[in-house]
Structures are given as C-alpha cells and as structure tokens.
Amino acid sequence: MSKKKQDEFVIYVVTLSSVKRYMSIEFIGGSCGFIIAQKALQSDLFGMIGSMIAPIAIRRVLQWQQRISERHLHFGLRTLSRTGKLSPT
C-alpha cells in the first residue's frame, strides 16, 4: 500500500490568465504603491514598503470581493431552489 503512494505524482496546471493576473497585481500594484507612498511620504524607504504592501492589499480586497459574491450567489440559489414558495401561475 505504501509503495503505491510513492509512485503517485501530482500535476499542477497553471493557466495563462492566472499568470497574467499575478503579474499585473505584482508589477502594476507594486509600481503604483511605490509611486504613491514615495510621493506622499517623500521617502524612498516608504516607497519600497508601499511597493510590498500594495499587492498584498490588492489580493486581500479581491479575495474579500470573491467571498461576498459567492455568498450572494449561494443565497440566491438557495432561495430559488425552494419549490414550495413558487406558484405555477
């Protein structure tokens, strides 16, 4: 049984759209974070910190939006699946 587990392998599929999304968040978000923090705080150090924080913040906002949309979708499907409330007219 353990020998069979050693022969197994995992294939990860990375789509081009996910690579594009990652690159745009990292490069565009990081650059914008650097420029905004550097201009606002007049410091290159704060600009570098902003370039690290901006992509993290963008990813968290996108995850938050996805969770909210999934809740609304789940709620909508649950209400539509109740056939007792629907009338044939």
Amino acid letter, 60 = R
Reference 55, options 27, 83, 19; nearest CA is 27
Here the contacts of 56-62 (C-beta below 8 Å, separation 24 or greater) are 57/29, 57/33, 58/25, 58/29, 59/25
Across 13-17, 57-61, 79-83, least confident range: 79-83
Residue pointed to by tokens 């745009």: 24
Stretch 4-11: mean pLDDT: 78
Indicate the pLDDT class of residue 21, thresholds 50, 70 and 90. Answer: very high
Residue that wins the pLDDT comparison between 47 and 86: 47
**Tens-digit pLDDT profile for residues 30-80:** 999 999 999 999 999 999 999 999 999 999 999 999 998 888 776 655 555
CA 19 to CA 65: how far, in whole Å?
20
Per-residue pLDDT at 88: 52
